[in-house]
Amino acid sequence: MTETTQTHRPPTPPGGATARSPEFRLALDALRGLRQDLFHDAFAYRPLPRRSVDGPVSRRLGGRARQYAAWTPHAVVVSAGLLAMLVGYESSRGENLSLFVGLLALAPVLLTLVRPVGAFWASLVATPVSGMFYGGWYEWPWPPGSFVAHLTVLTVVAVRTRPRTAAWMWVLTLVYGLFADAVLSAGYYDTNTGPMLILSAIILLFVAVLHVRREARQEVTAQQTVTEHERSRRTLLEERTTIARELHDVVAHHMSVVAIQAEAAPYRVENPPPELERAFATIRENAVAALTELRRVLGVVRAEDYEAPEAPQPTLVDLDALLANVRDAGLTVDKTVTGAVRELTQGVELSAYRIVQEALSNTLRHAPGATARVEIGYVLGGLGLRIVNGPPPHPALVKPSPGAGHGITGMRERVTMLNGEMTAGPTDEGGYEVTVFLPAATVSEGEA
C-alpha cells in the first residue's frame, strides 16, 4: 500500500496574483506618496496667497500700510533670496561668474512663490552647478549660497505643502548629500551634509508642528460650529416640544369640556326631541374621537418622565407675581397696561406670559443692574407686548452672563405659532427691546 502525502498550500488570491506582504504594500504606498507629492505636477502654478489683514496687528494699520501688510510673506521670501544671492556672490571663484552663482541661489527661492515643488527640484539641480564655481575647499556638497538657498526652499515649500511632502524633501536631501559625499567629493576636505540635515530636520519638524496645530485648531473650530448648530437645533426642538405639550394641554382641556357639555346638554332640557339628542350625541362622539386623536398625535412629544403640571398654566393675571419675583432678584421693573383689559384665549395668555418671562430673564442675565419696563396693550384684534431694558450701569457689580440667543429663538417660535409678529434688537440708549403683537380674539368671541 502506497501512502500519498499532500502539501497544503495557501489559496491563490483572485486573478492568480501572488499575495504581497505588508512590508511590500507599505513600501508601495510610500512610493506612491513620493510620486504624488514631488513628481506629479511638480511645476504646477500655485502662487503664494497674500496674508490676511484681519489679525490683531494688521487691523491697527492705516489704509495703505494695511494693503502692504498683505504682501509680508512675499517680502520675507524675496529678502531670504537676496541674502542667498549675496552669500553665493561672495563665495564664487571668479568675478565674472559671481553674478551667475548668485542668481543660481536666488532663482530657486523666488520660484517658491509660484511653483513650490518645482523650486525644490531647481534647488537640487542648482546646488552641484554652483559647486563647480565655488572657491573654497571645505563646504561640500552645498556651497554657502546654495546652503542658504536650499534651507529657505525647504522651509517655504514645507509651509506651503503638507508634512509628508516635507519628509520626502528631507529624504531626497539626505540621498543627494550621501551621493555627493561618496562620489563627487574629490578635492574637498570637509562635508556640510550633517549640518544641512540637522538644520533642515529642525526647521521641517517645527513647520510640521505648526501644520498639526493649525489643522487641530481648524478641526476644533469646525467641531465648535457643528456643536453650536446642534445645540441651537436641540434647543429649538425642545422649545417646540414644550409648546406642543402646552398646546396639547390647552386643546385637550377644551375638547374635554365640549364632550362633557354635549353629554349633559340633553338632560338640561325637558323632553328633548330625538333630533336634538342625536345631534348632541354626534357632537360628543366627534369630540371624544378628536380628543383621542389629539392625544395620540401630540402625546408622542411627551418624554417618558414628563408629568403634566397639576397647577393651571400661567396667564397674564399671574404677571404681577412674576414681576414681584424678578424684583426680589434685583431687577427694577415697571408695568404699564393700556386698553380695555379682557380675557383672551388660553394659548395667547400663556404665550404672552412666557415671552415676558423670557425677556425679563434675559435682562437679568445680560444686563444685571439695569431697569426694565413691561408694556401691555389690549388693542383691537390682538395683544401688544413691549419689554425694554436700559443699559447696565458702569461699573457693574455683577458681570453679564453670556448666552447663545436661544431665549429669542423660543420667543419667535411662540409668536410664529400664533401667526404674530416680533422684533428684537438693541436700542439707541444701549439697552434691548422686544416688541410682539399676538393676534387674538376674546374668549367670548372664540366660543361664539
pLDDT digits (tens, 9 = 90+) for 96-114: 678 888 899 999 999 999 9
Largest CA distance in the chain: 131
Q: Which of 364, 357, 362 is nearest to 414 (CA)?
A: 357
345-402, pLDDT tens digit by residue? 888 888 899 899 889 888 887 888 889 999 999 998 899 999 999 988 876 555 555 5
434-444, pLDDT tens digit by residue? 999 999 876 55
Instruction: At 135, list the grid cell.
Output: 572657491
CA distance 8 to 11: 9
203-230, pLDDT tens digit by residue? 999 999 998 898 888 888 888 888 888 8
Q: What burial letters (b/e) apply to 375-411, b meaning 16+ CB within 10 Å?
A: ebebeeebbbbbbbbbbbeeeeeeeeeeeeebbbebb
Four-way CATH pick for 316-447: 3.40.1590.10, 3.50.50.100, 3.30.565.10, 3.10.20.30: 3.30.565.10
Task: Supply angle C-alpha 43, 45, 46, rounded to 5.
Answer: 115
170-186, pLDDT tens digit by residue? 999 999 999 888 887 66
The neighbour count for residue 95, using CB atoms within 10 Å, is 8
**Distance of alpha carbon 83 from the chain centroid:** 42
Instruction: Report domain extents, the chain.
Output: 22-191, 234-301, 316-447
Which of the residue ranges 31-45, 141-155, 181-195 would you say has the lowest mean pLDDT?
Answer: 181-195
3-50, pLDDT tens digit by residue? 444 444 555 554 444 567 887 787 787 788 788 888 888 888 999 988
**Mean pLDDT over each residue of the chain, to the nearest integer:** 80
Task: Supply angle C-alpha 373, 379, 381, rounded to 5.
Answer: 130
CA distance 183 to 199: 23
